[in-house]
Amino acid sequence: MDKRMDISTLENWLWDAACSIRGPIDAPKFKDYILPLLFYKRLCDVYEDEIRKLSKEFENEKFAKEIIKSDRKLIRFYIPDEYTWREIRKITTNLGEKLTEALKGIAKENPKFQGVIDIVDFNATAAGQRIISDDTLARLMEILNGHRLGLKDVEPDILGRAYEYLLRKFAEGSGQSAGEFYTPREVGILMTRILDAEEGDEVYDPACGSGGLLIKEQLWLKEKMKEIKRPLKLYGQEINSFTYAMAKMNAFIHDMDADVRVGDTIRNPRFVDGGKLKQFDKVTANPMWNQKFPQDVFENDAYNRFLYGIPPSNSSSDWGWIQHMFASLNAKGKLVVVIDTGVVSRGSGNAGSNREKEIRKRFVDTDYIEAVILIPENLFYNAGGAGNIIVINKDKPHEGEILLINASKEFAKGRPKNYLTGENIKRIEDVYKNWEEVEGFSKIITNDEAARNDYNLSPSRYVVTGEKEVYLPVDEVLVELEQVEEERKVIDKELDEILEEIGFGRSG
């Protein structure tokens, strides 16, 4: 029986690697060097395994290597002898230069790795000094050489966990910017189980970061089915080129195919068929919360994505992301997004119009909102407040109803962040899938009831947990104020135009 590396061994190993470059390299840069090297070692160990297997079949290693040079279909990928991990480790001078050359050479031999494995210059300088010296690089490679990462040495998902571990460590050390592409593992698991993709589904993440939500969806399918005849088809778009490369590495390490593309999803969606958005069975994402886009981005959209209303440009474009996801669904598609809590309540109960409320109203009135789940605060590295998981379904099994789950108390206290336990995840999942009302936890409302409450879909409004009323966090209040200010400017402009028409222009 194979003895595979467990997660604690992997994490301790990776932490040793991070500590080996702690002095010369700032914590946020750990991943820039460790992850590509980890991927490189994985490739070399798997390649070594395949050469060994073919050598047994042909009863000659030299002959096996000659055969694969001419027939690359016999192997998953090809690595020239001079570019293997084993050979690069022998180098004692100009290591950074030779390592960079090796990774570029592997990418040249395997086009699918271009822009993925060859993204780091290990010989780069800053202010006339090497960013990572050859000595430090050699020490890092020596530590990473401590464990094999071949086909029988590790489970594919354990290396995915390695990505999550380093990203989490990076996020803990660098705060908000890291959280833009890191979704806490247990939140991802919960979203995956709620989305619940089926065999052969096409699953899309328009803000895919390092690919975690897509990978988890495929792993969940494997977990719930003994035999998969038709795996999921995974698609993602990511604006950051380095994070895009991590998503590609992550998918490959998991032995999965994923079509991931670089670009700004809101301004330039990359999955387009004949001038129209490609549509998918399932869509999931953790986009940047309360992002701001100029008004014309929405008003001049070529793909008719924002038909339910133009989101406010000065405060939050969350409903812009949701409408993009909705437009990317096919006729029976379903989306699961984790987003800021204010998305389901801003504008409700206030006099006058509010763009977010009007968009929310359209989604409720057309009966596409299926569920809203309030998750605990202090789970995310880029937001101290709580979040909402919103489920939008074009094929709702419970017409005219919305399930609201107040899971704000379902967490374990952690340092530095709280987290969902397996029991927390299971409780939320079961209530959602069984469509249950549980006192102090969940409530089923009708669309008419939502309308009577001015389209406020905040679970805490309908589900009382027994605690005193919780007031809006400061960041939510600021967003509300920005929206009011934006509406004031619009009204002032309209008033100026009217006064001008009747000869009482303010400018005179």
Handedness of CA 147, 148, 154, 157 (dihedral sign): positive
Give the C-alpha separation, 453 to 462, whole Å: 10
pLDDT at position 476: 53
Q: What is the dihedral of CA 137, 139, 140, 142, to 10 degrees?
A: 120
Element (H, E) at 63: helix 61-70
Name the residue among 384, 389, 404 with its Cα closest to residue 343: 389
Residues 6+ apart with CB under 8 A from 275: 302
| pLDDT digit string, tens, across residues 280-290 | 999 999 999 99
**pLDDT class of 406 with cuts at 50, 70, 90:** very high
Buried b (16+ CB within 10 A) or exposed e, 428-446: bbebbeeeeeeeebbbebe
pLDDT at 481 over 80: no
Task: Give the domain ranges of the chain.
Answer: 7-154, 173-462
Element (H, E) at 279: none
pLDDT band of 190, cuts 50, 70, 90: very high
Write b or e for each residue in 91-107: b if 16 or more Cβ atoms lie within 10 A of its Cβ, otherwise e. Answer: beeebbebbbbbbbbbb
Task: Kindly list the distances between the CA atom of residue 200 and the CA atoms of 230, 280, 299, in Å, as whole numbers in the listed order.
Answer: 5, 11, 35
Beta bridge partners of 389: 338, 373
Q: What pLDDT score does 114 carry?
A: 92
- The first and second tokens of residue 191, run together, are 């979203």
Give the three-class secondary structure for 446. Answer: strand
Cα dist. 55→50, 51, 72, 462 in Å?
A: 8, 6, 15, 66
- The larger pLDDT score, comparing residue 247 to residue 202, is at 202
Q: What is the pTM of this model?
A: 0.84
pLDDT-derived band at 464, boundaries 50, 70, 90 = confident
Where do the DSSP E strands lie in 38-183?
Answer: 125-126, 129-130
Name the residue among 345, 346, 341, 394 with its Cα closest to residue 370: 394
Q: What is the mean pLDDT of residues 35-39?
A: 89
Q: Is the dihedral of CA 486, 487, 488, 490 positive or negative?
A: positive
* Contacts of residue 163, Cβ cutoff 8 Å, sequence gap at least 6: 35, 210, 212, 246, 249, 250, 253
164: which 2 tokens?
Answer: 């999550």
Q: What is the mean pLDDT of residues 218-222?
A: 94
pLDDT tens-digit series, residues 454-463: 999 999 999 9
Of residues 31 and 204, more confidently modeled: 204
Residue with tokens 């002095």: 23
Task: Inform me whether the pLDDT recorded for 35 exceeds 90.
Answer: no
pLDDT band at 197 (very low <50, low <70, confident <90, very high): very high
Mean pLDDT across the stretch 420-442?
Answer: 97
What are 330-389's pLDDT values in tens digits?
999 999 999 999 999 998 887 777 899 999 999 999 999 999 999 999 888 766 789 999
Rounded Cα–Cα distance for residues 144 and 159 (Å): 13
Choosing among 2.40.100.10, 3.40.50.150, 3.40.640.10, 3.40.50.1970, the CATH entry for 173-462 is: 3.40.50.150
CATH T-level assignment (fold) for domain 7-154:
Ferritin (1.20.1260)
Give the separation between CA 380 and CA 375, rounded to whole angstroms. 11
**31-35, 211-215, 444-448: segment of lowest average pLDDT:** 31-35
